[in-house]
Structure 1
């Protein structure tokens, strides 16, 4: 599985699509045990990546400030560190 794009370089949408493909392959049960383990490990890493991207997006949304009349006033940068 060394020819795959590094997970850190995937967008949320790309990672989610690949995760769905991994789950589909595992559910079919037609892959060898070693490949199943590799797929499971990749799937777990993809899931973690998707969760992190969602958490970062939620934090950015929470940073949106509203003016007194309820309209967005701007955002504050999110510091993930």
Structure 2
């Protein structure tokens, strides 16, 4: 695992791909226990990285609400629907 890139250097897409690979390895049941524990720990960190990146993206796309005079009054979550 030491050869793996630092999690904080991964893009969302890279972290998600690695997380999917880890889940597949863990679900196979063929991974020795010590390796499975290490994979689980890295997977948990990757999950957190993906969650943090999604939260940051959501914050960036919040719409600013304006009052009748055009002054900002707050923010509203972006509605992707």
TM-score where L is the length of structure 2: 0.77
Q: Which residue of 1 aligns with 2:6?
A: 6
Which portions of structure 1, spanning 4 or more consecutive aligned residues, are displaced by more than 6 angstroms?
none
Richer in strand (by share): 2
Superposition TM-score, scaled by structure 1 size: 0.77
- Cα RMSD between the aligned structures? 1.4
Structure 1, unmatched stretches of 5+, are 68-81
Query: In terms of Rg, which structure is larger?
Result: 2
Stretches of structure 2 that go unaligned for 5 or more consecutive residues are 67-81
State the aligned residue count: 66
